[in-house]
Amino acid sequence: MTAPPPTRLDPLVSDHDDHIIGEESAAITLVEYGSFSCPYCQAAHEIIGNLRDRFGSRLRYVSRQRPITGNEHALKAAELAEFAAQTGDYWTAHDSLMKRGAALRIDDLPGIAAELGLPPQDPDHSEAVGRAREKVEQQRDSARRSGALVSPTFFINGRRYEGPWDEAALTEAMLRSPGHRLQVAALDFARWAPSTGLLLMLMSVLAVGLANSPAAEAFKRLWQTFFGFFAGGSRSACRCGTGSTTGC
């Protein structure tokens, strides 16, 4: 049986290595593994802006690279963003690249670099270019270790978020609403190795209890009841509990 993907951020957020907006003391840390040249990440970019406005100093946002697999445009854009982090302003580059979404192409990158006032990626800046490529590769490895299999993938306070990434759903998760806590508990239980055996045992106990309860005869009659439906001029019917696969 294939093991489920990890759910914990690896490595944890580092003030030295990560691109961060917000204070370390913030109650909520939202990490995004994102990709340029990705329409979903482009849509999430606006949502993240709204969340930052909404939560203010309570939210710390972290951007990590996870270029779309096999997409050379996304890979080169990520490397340009990391080059900008060393020679210019990462967040200005991040914003400029992200707003282009799926329309972004490699041919656009020299013009974007010029708009950002970045130096040329020539032999004089070969070390910075090399570090940028290495940083992207490190974060791609980090994404795999953390279970970030798609872009975007979010982590809230170190745990992978599993749910829709619209503004309302992310807000509930960050505020740890009762519904979100119940969802997390259910997912954790489903991943727990003995959970299948425990459920089987509980259902067996329930079946034995039902068979020996005053409701046993009523349940037996219900189990043996025929039911059917009409669709056009045809009719289908089956008996509960027969295991029939035709018409039901």
What is the per-residue pLDDT across 21-54, written as a single tens digit (0 to 9) for each?
999 999 999 999 999 999 999 999 999 999 999 9
**What's the token pair of residue 181?**
């806590």
**What's the token pair of residue 23?**
């204070």
Residue 3 counted as domain residue: no
Which pLDDT band, with edges at 50, 70 and 90, does 4 fall under?
A: confident
Looking at the 3D structure of the chain, how many domains does it have?
A: 2
What is the per-residue pLDDT across 152-177, written as a single tens digit (0 to 9) for each?
999 999 999 999 989 999 999 999 86
Q: What type of residue is 54?
A: R
In a shared domain, residues 217 and 183: no
Query: Phi and psi at residue 174, in whole multiples of 5°?
Result: -70, -30
Query: Percentage of the chain with pLDDT > 90?
Result: 68
What is the per-residue pLDDT across 90-120, written as a single tens digit (0 to 9) for each?
999 999 999 999 999 999 999 999 999 999 9
Q: What is the pTM of this model?
A: 0.74
d(CA 209, CA 170): 42
In a shared domain, residues 115 and 228: no
In a shared domain, residues 43 and 144: yes
Residue 184 counted as domain residue: yes
Query: To 10 degrees, the CA torsion angle through 39, 41, 45, 46?
Result: 40
d(CA 133, CA 75): 9
| Contact status, residue 32 vs residue 148, Cβ threshold 8 Å | no
Q: Domain range holding 137? A: 19-189
CATH number for the domain spanning 48: value is 3.40.30.10
In a shared domain, residues 210 and 184: no
In a shared domain, residues 208 and 86: no
Kindly give, in sequence order, each residue whose CB lies less than 8 Å from that of residue 8, ignoring residues fewer than 6 positions away.
Answer: 146, 147, 158, 159, 160
